[in-house]
Structure 1
Amino acid sequence: MEPIPYGRQHITQDDIDAVVATLQSDFLTQGPKVAEFEQSFANYVGAKYAVAVSNGTAALHLCAMALGVNEKSRVITTPITFVASANCVRYCGGTIEFVDIDPTTALLDINKVRALLESKPKGYYTGIIPVDFAGNTVNLEEFRKLADEYGLWIIEDACHAPGGYFIDSNGEKQLCGNSNYADLAIFSFHPVKHIATGEGGMITTNDEALYQKLLLYRTHGITRDPQLLEENHGPWYMEMQELGYNYRIPDMLCALGISQLQRADAGLARRRGIAKVYDEAFAYVDGIEILQTATEALQEDSETGHAYHLYVIKVADRKGLYDFLRTHNIFAQVHYIPAHTMPYYRDLGFKKGDYPEAELYYSQCLSLPMYPSLTAEEQEFVIEKVKEFVK
């Protein structure tokens, strides 16, 4: 059996042709493919505006900047996420506060968030960054109610969940990144994600003022828009009005993203199909625990919009299973090491034991192979070896 990774990009001839056509065009960067990708992605998630950037971390940083995060800001997020979800606040000088997860879903526990907010005066905290971990979608309607009660903004980290959704209180599907409840949402186009551009990211919002700030900060804080200029010396003139960054994404990568987006629904359907096979295989196996979806945790048989970037199981001897699978060329992975246990965050005062549910989850979690080109034969081999070890 050839090596089976936990995730893998899927590049087709159409993808290659799209990139080659752009390489042969007049624009390699700051050209028409950027705007085309932005519009296509905004349409896909149902948001008014989208801003394409160099990667998901840049997207988070720009969001924090646009929302005015500074040394006085205190922001809440989950410890079970890639560290960029927290780092973006630190880039702007703000303070991060982690809140423990719901052990049934591994998502940020809204009840624990509420308890933290109630323990401090209103205005003490500034914002919340919930994460659609593994593609399991956060109920942002509930977080929005809580955020409004305490005057907080919301950045939805939806890197794992393009195409995912939750069902709101009116029975309507709310797509991840549509910004109906979050002020801003961000996505990543790293190779193992649903849509792969090599590196790349996207920010979505329905707020025009935030959108304009993002455009400015993405390109050094420079504008050429005649309506925004304080002076105008001629057609060449531009002004640096804010301290921004070069977080642009080139046209070649946007061309790849446009091509990938055209089969995003098919890829998502395949991921859900793979998850269903895993669910059925492991449902009654002693020693294997499957994460619940957010909706299942609230109500059995609810419709779920899980996007399945990852398929995570929990087992008692995680290290043993990890090593055993590698001997059979199955390269499962661990997501994530709790952010508060990283040396950088320990130096800020966090310590092991602060968030016991996150730490227990980490000791047991393993992400099994999950990507659209995973074959039925490969998946059955993975299932066979997992069961063999556990039994």
Structure 2
Amino acid sequence: MIPYGRQDISQEDIDAVVDVLRSDFLTQGPTVPKFEEAVAGYVSAPHAVAVNSATSALHVACLALGLGPGDWLWTTPITFVASANCALYCNASVDFVDIDPLTCNISVTALETKLKAASLAGRLPKIVVPVHLGGQSADMQRIAELGREYGFRIIEDASHAIGGSYLGAKVGGCRYSDITVFSFHPVKIITTAEGGCATTCDDDLAVRMRLAASHGVTRDPTLMTHAPDGDWYYQQVALGYNYRMTELQAALGFQQMKRLDQFVDARTERAVRYSERLVHLPLDLPVMQDGAVSAWHLYIIRLQLDRIAASHKDAFSDLRKAGIGVNLHYIPVHLQPFYRAMGFKLGDFPDAEAYYRRAMSIPIYPGLTEAAQDRVIAALENVLR
């Protein structure tokens, strides 16, 4: 089976992890800060806070921005459930904004329309979470303009997008947002096995996220209520969680950062080849908006069902039977049973639901050979014709 995504682990990666295993620190040592500096430097942000998952990063980002009971967080239905769940962790409420039918990212037009209605109803969001689906940035400049107009804060869910860029700058620099979140799951652009990171330009938000990620405990005298009792002293100054990244994860991540541009280049080559070879098939291929350069975590196709005999379900099954590890990113969050129980229903977000009926992700990763990619293309031709 050709998987839809796969990590690329070098001997240098393995050696770095082994070095940590032989060191004095398996956690809370010097390697996590070194990894954070590498990420922050790459995206040109003053701060990067590494944690044990992108879900944890979303949670501490929401906490840092003061999300709580009575507040609303809006995101897109076409994302992993964590982009919405992070609001519920803070006892806030969730709503969704439909997608742009071309880019499949959050629709700025739909967002503006919903904001106007919410303003009249007195129910504006405190936070909006645009998701950079597949590695392509959402239209952050326009979203930031709406944020200034309607007073909401912005968390970029860039779990797919480290190494991508927008309007000439790397995703994660937070020019158009308060915080950006990355994922380092094995199928992502770089990996720390499990892991995530939040970047920000705001000193205070960085402090709050660090506290939230490590029990709300600090040894920094400037954050304490009085002078330390002694060199042993620490204080809990907030309610926090144990979301720390280990030294082993950070060692792997630091090494992977050295090859980030190489990984993105390899993914881009494969994406370009797909777009050239699949253009004759009854498919809607990925559309890039002006100013965005994708990191190509995913290559998402959408079947033109009116031009093929197979159903979406049958085409997916036939490709799996042919050894092609297609996947679907994502089932609209509002259609999950947990969210239906909140009152969301079929028909709430028509463009997201139409996407779900036709979409599938085909294999793309740096180690995908031309021969394997040709197998994917041939299988698609057989199934769709």
Coarse TM-score class (shorter-chain normalised): over 0.9
For 1:134, the aligned partner's letter is G
Residue 174 of structure 1 deviates from its aligned partner by: 2.4
Counterparts of residues 235-250 of structure 1 (less than 5 Å): 235-250=231-246
Instruction: Name the residue aligned to 1:324.
Output: 318
Instruction: Name the residue aligned to 1:209.
Output: 204
Instruction: Name the residue aligned to 1:128.
Output: 128
Residue 140 of structure 1 deviates from its aligned partner by: 1.0
Q: 2:274 aligns with which of 278, 290, 301?
A: 278
Kept after mapping to 2: 8 A contact 1:135/1:160:
yes
Partner Cα distance (2:321, 2:313) in 1: 13
For 2:232, the aligned partner's letter is W
Partner Cα distance (1:53, 1:277) in 2: 35
Instruction: Name the residue aligned to 2:257.
Output: 261
Partner Cα distance (1:44, 1:332) in 2: 31
Kept after mapping to 1: 8 A contact 2:179/2:198:
yes
364-373 or 221-230, which moves further after superposition? 221-230
Q: 2:349 aligns with which of 333, 351, 355?
A: 355
Residue 332 of structure 1 deviates from its aligned partner by: 0.6
For 2:372, the aligned partner's letter is E
Instruction: Name the residue aligned to 1:308.
Output: 296
Partner Cα distance (1:229, 1:151) in 2: 31
Aligned length in residues: 376
Which TM-score applies when normalising by structure 2? 0.96
Q: 2:219 aligns with which of 193, 217, 224?
A: 224
Identity of aligned residues (%): 43
- Residue by residue, what CA displacement relative to the aligned partner does 1:230-264 show, whole Å, maximum 9, x if unpaired? 23211111111111000001001100000111001
- Residue by residue, what CA displacement relative to the aligned partner does 1:161-198 show, whole Å, maximum 9, x if unpaired? 0011122xxxxx12211111110000111000011111
Kept after mapping to 2: 8 A contact 1:160/1:309:
yes
Counterparts of residues 20-31 of structure 1 (less than 5 Å): 20-31=18-29
Kept after mapping to 1: 8 A contact 2:50/2:196:
yes
Kept after mapping to 1: 8 A contact 2:298/2:362:
yes
Instruction: Name the residue aligned to 1:114.
Output: 112
- Residue by residue, what CA displacement relative to the aligned partner does 1:23-67 show, whole Å, maximum 9, x if unpaired? 111110000000000000001111110000010000000000000
- Partner of 2:118, secondary structure, is coil
Instruction: Name the residue aligned to 2:64.
Output: 66
Q: 2:195 aligns with which of 183, 195, 200?
A: 200
Counterparts of residues 138-177 of structure 1 (less than 5 Å): 138-167=138-167, 173-177=168-172
2:382 matches 1:388: yes
Partner Cα distance (2:32, 2:118) in 1: 43
Partner Cα distance (2:270, 2:315) in 1: 20
Q: 2:182 aligns with which of 177, 182, 187?
A: 187
Residue 374 of structure 1 deviates from its aligned partner by: 0.4
Instruction: Name the residue aligned to 2:96.
Output: 98
Residue 324 of structure 1 deviates from its aligned partner by: 1.1
Residue 123 of structure 1 deviates from its aligned partner by: 6.6
Residue 144 of structure 1 deviates from its aligned partner by: 0.5
Instruction: Name the residue aligned to 1:300.
Output: none
- Residue by residue, what CA displacement relative to the aligned partner does 1:329-354 show, whole Å, maximum 9, x if unpaired? 11110110000001111111101111
Kept after mapping to 2: 8 A contact 1:191/1:197:
yes
Kept after mapping to 2: 8 A contact 1:42/1:50:
yes
Gaps of 5+ in 2: 306-310
Kept after mapping to 1: 8 A contact 2:172/2:199:
yes
Partner Cα distance (2:185, 2:173) in 1: 21
For 1:155, the aligned partner's letter is I
Kept after mapping to 1: 8 A contact 2:47/2:199:
yes
Partner Cα distance (1:97, 1:294) in 2: 25
- Residue by residue, what CA displacement relative to the aligned partner does 1:89-109 show, whole Å, maximum 9, x if unpaired? 111011111011011111100
Residue 75 of structure 1 deviates from its aligned partner by: 1.6
Instruction: Name the residue aligned to 2:308.
Output: none
Residue 321 of structure 1 deviates from its aligned partner by: 1.7
Partner Cα distance (2:124, 2:271) in 1: 41
Partner Cα distance (2:320, 2:212) in 1: 44
- Residue by residue, what CA displacement relative to the aligned partner does 1:85-130 show, whole Å, maximum 9, x if unpaired? 0000111011111011011111100010000111122673212100
Partner Cα distance (1:365, 1:254) in 2: 34
- Partner of 1:97, secondary structure, is strand
Instruction: Name the residue aligned to 2:36.
Output: 38
Partner Cα distance (2:124, 2:350) in 1: 24
Residue 12 of structure 1 deviates from its aligned partner by: 0.8
Gaps of 5+ in 1: 168-172, 296-302
Residue 318 of structure 1 deviates from its aligned partner by: 2.2
Kept after mapping to 2: 8 A contact 1:123/1:150:
no
Partner Cα distance (2:134, 2:292) in 1: 13
Kept after mapping to 2: 8 A contact 1:123/1:151:
no
